[in-house]
């Protein structure tokens, strides 16, 4: 009798799971009757409550919304990265790491009743006109979408559209309300934003994410740089939030010798897996500097940790994000998905770089407030979690990866004039204005010599000064402030305009990097990390 009762419960539970979640989840509940019974008893209270609601609640139920809310709440008791993704969010997440789409090139969320820009895709239409993470979307064309509980999928459908069509996006940034006219385009989700030679022997590659095409993109870029004489590489992983694990493994393998450990991982339901280099990498003899920042996370940290622990290259920048968790994506039949943490990963020296969950969402903000972003002396490391690289250098776990060469954020060039222009995205809108007036000429430019000649001919510095004054009412307080702003402002203006040419994103970084402190430090640092005296 008891066994038959248990069997009926199992059958009912499986039927419900098949209907709600799909076969993938059912496969993961295979077990004997005793264990399934125990699991059912553990979750019985939830089923009782749902049945009570079903039988007694005063109004008609929206079961889909309730299911989503219940799942979201349950996952909220786990780590910060395990989450349920409704169909719209899951589709956007998948698109971000593979494929193409036509639109304006942003990702956003609607935490309350107003959509907030989370990411502006590098090289996309939105970035070119000046949209920024944190902007609140107020209107799409003439339709108000803020403060009216506008459905997220409806916002997506209004923003997306065929390449070449225009959409007017009005945003609120601080106290400013700014309209942006954006020409939709096909958004290629490349992970390599730029690659070129910094000097006769030093190459540069900037990687924005670890997508399905990352390894092939980097291999193609590095092959071209090798043909141009590269013997040293500055590999830029700043603000790279991660992505596919296999791509991180393939890419790290390019730089390490046979048998070198890349990473290992394990979890409650995952036995330890160790990944080692196979010795077939094409870049084993290349000098390497890796740039990281407080927003470099996950797969970026796997790469950086392997390079540091094997003493293979020099890490330059600021302490990385601190995400040492491995997620798997479980898609469901309705288009939604579950992103679940299944293991922790550890660097070759045995470090778990996962930061504490306490105040997790405010960690980066706290780093700014505590002064860590501006001074190495303010960096707080867990001195009890000590590990050692292959060459005997001390490294720490428990809170991101500390670079070998720390580079603080430089705010000395942020004059009042520059800050005012930056707040209103004046530089980006100016670049769009110049393109409107010289579009045909700019689109034809295919060399840096021609680009430089164009800038000289139009007098880009004075043109911007007039534009900022007439359009945004921003003027330097004195000639001294104007001269103080120019060394940082002019490279940015040239970079923003040049990206509209045939030179593309390479031009943006080519013009901007000469005023990039981290790149400057990377070029000065020795190629052998053992030679460094960091004091940490």
133 contact partners, CB below 8 Å, separation of at least 6: 117, 118, 119, 120
The three-point CA angle 59-61-66 to 5° equals: 135
Ramachandran assignment for 385, one of left (phi > 0), alpha (psi -120 to 50 degrees), beta (any other): beta
Q: Which two tokens stand for residue 309?
A: 């622990």
- Please say if 298 is a catalytic residue: yes
Annotated active-site residue in 323, 355, 424, 510: 323
Q: What is the DSSP string of 393-418?
A: -EEE-SS----SEE-----TT--HHH
> Could you tell me how far CA 530 lies from the centroid of its own chain?
30
Q: What is the DSSP string of 416-440?
A: HHHHHHHHTTHHHHHHHHHHHHHHH
Annotated active-site residue in 298, 299, 300, 320: 298
Identify the three-state secondary structure at position 461.
Answer: helix
Q: What is the DSSP string of 240-280?
A: ---B-HHHHHHHHHTTSPTT-EEEEEEETTEEEEEEE--S-
Q: Which residue has the tokens 């007694």?
A: 56
Is residue 125 within 8 Å of residue 167, measured between CB atoms? no
Identify the three-state secondary structure at position 236.
Answer: strand
| Strand partners of residue 116 | 109, 136
Q: Which two tokens stand for residue 414?
A: 């942020």
Number of C-alpha atoms within 13 angstroms, CB side, residue 139?
A: 11
The three-point CA angle 211-216-219 to 5° equals: 125
Q: How far apart are CA 351 and CA 386, in angstroms?
A: 8
484 contact partners, CB below 8 Å, separation of at least 6: 413, 415
- Please say if 166 is a catalytic residue: no
Of 493, 521, 501, whose CA–CA distance to 198 is shortest?
521
Annotated active-site residue in 89, 135, 239, 309: 309
- Please say if 309 is a catalytic residue: yes
Of 505, 476, 506, whose CA–CA distance to 489 is shortest?
476
Sign, CA dihedral 38-337-238-174, equals: negative
Which residues are tagged catalytic? 298, 309, 323
């Amino acid at each position: 009798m008891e066994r038959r009762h248990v069997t009926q419960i199992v059958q009912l539970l499986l039927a419900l799971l098949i209907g709600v979640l799909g076969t993938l989840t059912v496969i993961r509940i295979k077990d004997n009757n005793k264990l399934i019974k125990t699991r059912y008893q553990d979750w019985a209270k939830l089923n009782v409550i749902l049945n009570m609601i079903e039988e007694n609640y005063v109004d008609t139920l929206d079961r889909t919304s309730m299911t989503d809310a219940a799942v979201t709440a349950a996952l909220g008791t786990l780590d910060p990265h395990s989450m349920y993704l409704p169909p719209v969010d899951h589709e956007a997440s998948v698109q971000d790491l593979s494929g193409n789409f036509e639109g304006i090139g942003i990702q956003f969320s609607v935490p309350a009743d107003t959509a907030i820009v989370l990411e502006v895709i590098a090289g996309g239409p939105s970035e070119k006109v000046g949209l920024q993470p944190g902007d609140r979307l107020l209107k799409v064309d003439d339709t108000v979408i803020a403060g009216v509980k506008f459905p997220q999928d409806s916002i997506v459908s209004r923003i997306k559209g065929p390449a070449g069509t225009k959409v007017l996006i009005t945003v609120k940034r601080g106290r400013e309300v700014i309209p942006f006219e954006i020409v939709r385009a096909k958004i290629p989700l490349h992970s390599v934003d730029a690659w070129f030679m910094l000097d006769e022997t030093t190459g540069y590659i900037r990687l924005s994410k670890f997508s399905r095409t990352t390894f092939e993109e980097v291999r193609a870029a590095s092959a071209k740089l090798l043909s141009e004489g590269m013997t040293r590489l500055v590999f830029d992983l700043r603000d790279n939030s991660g992505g596919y694990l296999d791509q991180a493994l393939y890419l790290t393998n390019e730089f390490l010798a046979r048998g070198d450990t890349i990473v290992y991982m394990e979890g409650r339901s995952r036995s330890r897996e160790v990944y080692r280099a196979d010795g077939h990498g094409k870049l084993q003899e290349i000098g390497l500097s890796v740039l990281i920042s407080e927003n470099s996370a996950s797969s970026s940290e796997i790469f950086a940790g392997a390079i540091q622990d094997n003493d293979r290259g020099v890490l330059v920048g600021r302490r990385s994000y601190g995400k040492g968790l491995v997620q798997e994506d479980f898609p469901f039949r309705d288009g939604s998905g579950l992103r679940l943490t299944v293991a922790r990963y550890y660097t070759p020296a045995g470090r778990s770089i996962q930061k504490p969950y306490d105040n997790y969402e405010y960690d980066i903000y706290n780093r700014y407030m505590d002064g860590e972003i501006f001074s190495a002396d303010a960096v707080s490391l867990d001195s009890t979690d000590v590990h050692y690289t292959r060459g005997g250098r001390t490294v720490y776990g428990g809170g991101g990866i500390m670079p070998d060469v720390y580079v603080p954020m430089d705010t000395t060039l942020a004059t009042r004039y520059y800050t005012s222009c930056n707040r209103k995205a004046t530089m980006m809108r100016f670049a769009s204005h110049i393109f409107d007036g010289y579009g045909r000429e700019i689109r034809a430019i295919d060399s840096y010599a021609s680009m430089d000649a164009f800038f000289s001919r139009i007098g880009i510095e004075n043109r911007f000064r007039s534009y900022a004054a007439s359009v945004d009412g921003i003027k330097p307080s004195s000639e001294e402030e104007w001269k103080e702003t120019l060394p940082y402002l002019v490279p940015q203006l040239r970079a923003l305009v040049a990206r509209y040419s045939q030179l593309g994103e390479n031009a943006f970084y080519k013009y901007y990097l000469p005023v990039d402190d981290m790149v400057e430090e990377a070029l000065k640092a020795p190629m052998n990390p053992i030679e460094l005296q960091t004091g940490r």
